[in-house]
Structure 1
Amino acid sequence: MTAFLLERGPGSEETARQVRRLRARILFDHGRRPEFRTGPDAYADDQDLDYGAWHFVARHPNDGRPLGYVRLCLPEAGESFQTRAFMGAETYEAFLLDQGLGAAETFEHSRLVVEHRARKLGLGVHLNAVAIAAARHLGAKAMVGTSGTADGQDVFHSRFGFRPVQGTRRYVEQYTEDVVVMLYRAAEPSGEHDALVGRLQTALPGLVRPAHEMAGLLAGGQPARATVSSGVDPMTVAADHGTRDVWQPELFDLENPQEADAFEKLLGSGSVREVSDTIEAQLEELVTCREPGLRASPQGIAHAVAQQLAGREVHQYGSWAWYPWSGRLVHLLPREEFRLVRTDRNRGRIERPQQRHLLERRVGIIGLSVGSSAALTFAMEGIAGAYKLADFDALSVSNLNRLRAGVHHLGLNKCVIAARQMTEIDPWLDIEIYTQGLNDDVMREFFVGGHGPIDLLVEECDTPYVKLAAREIARELRVPVVMDANDRGLLDVERFDLEPTRPLLHGVLGDTTANDLADLTPQEQADVILAMVDRSRISAELEASITRIGTDLSSWPQLASGVALGGALTAEAARRILLGLPRPSGRFYTDLAVTTAAERSVSA
């Protein structure tokens, strides 16, 4: 959203022309108000009120095209107010006197217009709110304006505290509908949107740009440097709505009346910081995924998209995903179509019947440091449609060397971070999180309870007791286990689904049970972990680091490259296991230092 004051001077005429053309094109509304079109592709809404007025434009965040507009006229132009012309000069002045208002403290709100394709996105709410915020900021005592009634615009304004003036409703030929005068007193709350108005009033200075910069932007140029989306701080949104630990998006199907109503309330809440609607491009991608030959025919694509829509409005097609932690609202294809397009490039490696099979599987992941790479890789590749994540730890600064997270995530539980990132890839994923980690009270539930039993376990935790206790249950329930040791690319696979009597961890701990590993000292824990991964095979760097841990090293050394490799290795193993392809039990090394050594080069 951008605000500018338009005054007569160099460059102002072109800005005024673009403003007027934008308004007139929207007001024309596909022929509903024919007087606003002056030619085949020419529109005009010339009003002297544009000069000396504040103008507010909402534009698309990616390509900068204008989507909506509202104007705030200052008292200096009071003799030209539309409200005064509509009521008649004497009646208008008597009205102000009756209301205890002076002309010098009464502003006019007018020309609220929103592009047809964007009318359900809440832009009208934000534009109306920013006009009220500006009037308050400029010291208005009251605002007046004329409001159409055919589409319930008068009812819309009443939600902001505007009240219709009795006896002023009448039919206006230019607008092809009844029009009524509305009054708002700035000292009163702005109805159900008062909180939004307050936030925008604070953000208003950051929206202002010089008027001479606006002509190109109104013609569809790139966003101005200082524009602010809604003026709403996403951290304020999170704090206001208690989203600190939320990881599940909310989905809306606008063909469902109840969900459509909830969607409208969300848009009017002031919580939506950013709207992303690329549904038209998604539809084109959908039809060309199904028929790649269409890519050479724009007309063929348009015909296929029209068939796909089957008469439905583009705005209502598919689903809208609301991510409360970021304030983003995203328009997406329906679930099955979205997943078909999202995994289309998997084909040739993972065919569609295999993709559908994988989406029916549920994976458990214990430990979301190294395990976060596995979780995100699985989600991207479509290895499962449901997940259980377990980790008691919160993100700290020292985790940022290997976890895909940002500084705004510090202090958040690692399960929450991973689940958010996964649902931002696919909002339909079924994810359960265990933010207290796993202990004897919830261990079995993790395997068989909740939304259903897991089909495979990825184990990446640092606690020897949990590592062994989880394997004991996995073997009992015949659940395969994969692990990446984050050193030398060690992939560990235990096919308890095929070998229910197989020794845990390939027998490296002998007859040791989980109970034997309870209450270990830190040094004992380190010794057991080294035994689990076979100390004789660890890298020289890790071997040299062991004696330094607790002195000049705070913990085990780990790198993002090793964690990323672990995500790839566990994903490859899990995919093959879940698809019934060969992947035997055992230990396998993908040591990058070895595989990329000079003697391994195959170049001439």
Structure 2
Amino acid sequence: MRDVSTGTEVPWHVSAFRLGPEEAGAAESVALIRELRARILFDRGRRPDFRTADGSYADDQDLDFGAWHFIARRKAGGRPLGYVRLSTPETGELFQTRAYLGADRYEEVLREYGFGAAETFEHSRLVVEHRARKLGLGVYLNAFAIAAARRLGAKAMIGTSGTADGQDRFHERFGFRPLPGTRRYVERYTEDVLVMLYQAAARQTGEYADVIERLEEDFEYATVPLQQAGLAAAVDACEPAATETRLPVGAAAARRALDGTGEADGVWRPVIFDLGREADRNGLEELLASGEVRQVLDTIDEQLIELVNSREPALRSSPRSVERAVAEQLGGVPAHDYGVWVWYPWSGRLVHLLPRGEFRLVRTDRNRGRIERPEQRRLLGRRVGIIGLSVGNSAALTFAMEGIGGAFKLADFDALSVSNLNRLRAGVHHVSLNKCVIAARQMLEIDPWLDIEVFPSGLTDETMEEFFTGGGGPVELLVEECDTPYVKIAARERARALGIPVVMDANDRGLLDVERFDLEPDRPLLHGRLGDTTSRDLADLTPQEAVDVILTMVDRERISPELSASISRIGVTLSSWPQLASGVALGGALTADAARRILLGLPRPSGRFYTDLELLTAADRSTLA
């Protein structure tokens, strides 16, 4: 049998059977099915509600009786690797979608699309073991359930779909469409869920039309009596398959690691190779043969241990349990082929990492207790704009490390100079490189899957629209850290018009400025500090006028004595505004905290707030006797 997602030969064996409540052995069979599903749904701790206090797995649903069940294995009699359920109209009163929407709304939805309850089937509980996901079993099982429904006379299929791992987009590839207004967070699944509808009568099959048509014929041959389904194998405690361990193809290149960084101006996107794709495998081999790889870093064994421990911390006390969990995670895939290889052209490094979802789960594991998994996923779905990548560099890196935003737009026209190295996290090899390119590289070395757009010409009248609403999508929060009065006001004018909140750190006395234009669409810019001044009024300022405007923006009466004493020396004995790395680092922390609260809907009102370390750490503030 050919894997429909990769084109490789993968032998899947599917057993299809229907469980009637009166059938002999039905209760025992349902118990085994529920344990199989719950073990996969538990996902080593990701969905804790599917495991009970005594350590057993539970997914009890009355809908199991009277439904069709499909179990997939690599071969007949083997261990089940995937499952899906298909419910017929006879048990329509128990449909998950009916309970989710409410009976009246459920029937109203069907009528809107021209269907009746007696011709609508429900597709649910598609679960696949990690070892089989990369081999396309999810695609195959989903196609099988659709084919069976069509064979059984369904005119429509309905079901709920999670969104955190792109399950909704997965179903869209088969022709399912999300129903407007049905998305909401479900605690048990720790993610947003929505309802999706498939019009089987219209032969709507998306990109897997040919697979579904072929499987319609196979459904009859896959149907077996309950006694032949082999359900006991679903919960057998079998030993994980032994895994192959071998050095990366580029290990020799690692031993010949070269000095230097091979900087190339403007290059900031890494290249990601997934060895499950033949084109990527060939591309990686070509890269390794090119001599451009200066260092190969393969710590996948350590990452896998971190992964299983982060899912089930109790495993740490048993090295053998950790070893078994890692072997199960690999599922027979050689460690070298597991996950992805990421090529960073600017440094010549080739790094082996876990797949995106698993990498992010481990990378943000220590956020838990402060930012829980559902909140982490919500933050990763947001897009942040940052203007000014000197002070803004600290904000950008803090956001990336903390997982505040999965997409970014960075704007700065300036290149790094030696004098920037007193506060900007960069090296001497970055001198003369654009600052937003530097930040993008640093962020992608933290998470190579971040969606980053750079604007190396800065924010101008020509780039304003693209920055705020174009490209990959609209900005949802703005961090403004530039030095030009015109841009500071022009950016706020656009943010207010679009209802985008703005945060700013002034890098003096820990000043954090918050403007909630998302909640207050008529709020005066910069809290009215400049009155009715518009960006056009600030287009052609002299250097001294620019200094005066900025001091008015930040309130010259509240600036630190050191900054106040420095103003008259700027351009005379001082080349520019004095700034320290400690203040810039504090600014990154303040803007990140404010942004996280805003994006999660937590309290963070408009205003101006000071975290003056000199005052907060004065002798009289000590808590010691």
Whether TM exceeds 0.5 here: the answer is yes
- 8 Å CA contact 1:252–1:259 kept in 2: the answer is yes
Matched, 1:393 2:414: yes
Match of 2:382 among 358, 361, 365: 361
Amino acid at match of 1:319: V
1:342 pairs with one of 356, 360, 363: 363
SS where residue 389 of structure 1 aligns?
strand
Q: 1:349 to 1:581 in 2, by over 3 A?
A: same
Superposition pairs for residues 287-326 of structure 1, below 5 Å?
287-326=308-347
Q: How does 1:491-510 map to 2 (within 5 A)?
A: 491-510=512-531
| Partner Cα separation in structure 1 for residue 590 and residue 483 of structure 2 | 19
Partner in structure 2 of residue 577 of structure 1: 598
Partner of 1:519: 540
Aligned to 1:433: 454
Instruction: Give 1:304's aligned amino acid.
Output: A
1:263 pairs with one of 277, 284, 306: 284
Structure 2's unaligned 5+ residue stretches are 1-243
Residue aligning to 2:372: 351
- 1-structure distance, mates of 2:561, 2:257: 53
Q: May I ask how many residue pairs the two structures share in their alignment?
A: 382
**Residue identity in the other structure for 2:443:** M
Backbone CA RMSD of aligned residues: 1.2
Q: Where in structure 1 do 4 or more consecutive aligned residues deviate above 6 Å? A: none
**1:230 corresponds to:** 256
**Deviation string, structure 1 residues 425-471 (Cα, Å, up to 9, x no partner):** 00000000000001111112100001100110000000000000000
Per-residue CA distance 1:14-40 (angstroms, 9 max, x = gap)? xxxxxxxxxxxxxxxxxxxxxxxxxxx
Structure 1: tracts of 5 or more residues without a match: 1-114, 127-227
Aligned to 2:615: 594
Decide which moves more: 489-498 or 437-446: 437-446
> Which of 263, 272, 275 does residue 293 from structure 2 map onto?
272
Match of 1:45 in 2: none
Partner of 1:533: 554
Contact 1:122/1:267 (8 A) holds in 2: no
Report deviation, 1:553. 0.6
Identity of aligned residues (%): 73
Q: Distance in 1 between matches of 2:257 and 2:410?
A: 35
The reply to whether residue 371 of structure 1 matches residue 500 of structure 2 is no
In structure 1, C-alpha distance between the alignment counterparts of 2:379 and 2:611, rounded to whole Å = 25
Q: Distance in 2 between matches of 1:317 and 1:554?
A: 52
In the other structure, the counterpart of 1:105 is none
Correspondences of 1:428-577 after superposition (within 5 Å): 428-577=449-598
Q: What is the Cα deviation at residue 122 of structure 1?
A: 5.5
Please give the residue correspondences for 1:71-220 in structure 2 after superposition, counting only pairs within 5 Å: 117-121=246-250, 123=252
Amino acid at match of 1:445: E
One-letter identity of the residue aligned with 1:404: R
Query: Matched residue of 2:352: which SS?
Result: strand
Which residue in 2 is equivalent to 1:424? 445
In the alignment, the residues of structure 2 paired with residue 234 and residue 307 of structure 1 have an alpha-carbon distance, to the nearest angstrom, of 40
Distance 1:116 1:408 in 2: 37
Secondary structure in structure 1 of the residue aligned to 2:246:
helix
Check whether the contact 1:459–1:481 (CA below 8 A) recurs between aligned residues: yes
Superposed CA deviations along residues 560-584 of structure 1, whole A, max 9, x for unmatched, are 0000000000000000000000000
Following superposition, the deviation at residue 119 of structure 1 comes to: 4.8
CA contact (8 A) 1:122 1:268 kept: no
Shift of 1:559: 0.2
C-alpha distance after superposition, 1:498-551 (max 9, x if no partner): 000000000000000000000100000000000000001100000000001111
Give how far 1:480 is off.
0.1
Secondary structure, in 3 states, of the residue corresponding to 2:574?
coil
Structure of larger gyration radius: 1
Does the CA contact (< 8 Å) of 1:369 and 1:414 recur in 2?
yes
The answer as to whether partners of 2:508 and 2:559 remain within 8 angstroms in 1 is yes
* Aligned twin of 1:284: 305
User: 2:133 aligns to what?
Assistant: none
Once the two structures are superposed, residues 284-327 of structure 1 have per-residue CA deviations (whole angstroms, 9 ceiling, x without a partner) of 00000000000010100011011111111110100111000000
Q: CA deviation at 1:283?
A: 0.3
The alignment partner of 2:569 has SS state of: coil
Within 5 Å, which residues of 2 pair with 1:21-40? none
Residue 246 (str. 1) matches residue 375 (str. 2): no
Rounded Cα–Cα distance in structure 1 between residues aligned with 2:255 and 2:279? 28
Q: Is the 8 A contact 1:122 1:264 kept in 2?
A: no
**2-side partners of 1:118 and 1:309: how far apart?**
16
Matched residue SS, 1:557: coil
Query: Structure 2 counterpart of 1:117, which letter?
Result: R
Q: 1:481 to 1:231 in 2, by over 3 A?
A: closer
Contact 2:245 2:334 in 1 (8 A): no
Contact 1:464/1:525 (<8 A) preserved: yes
TM-score computed with the length of structure 2 as normaliser: 0.60
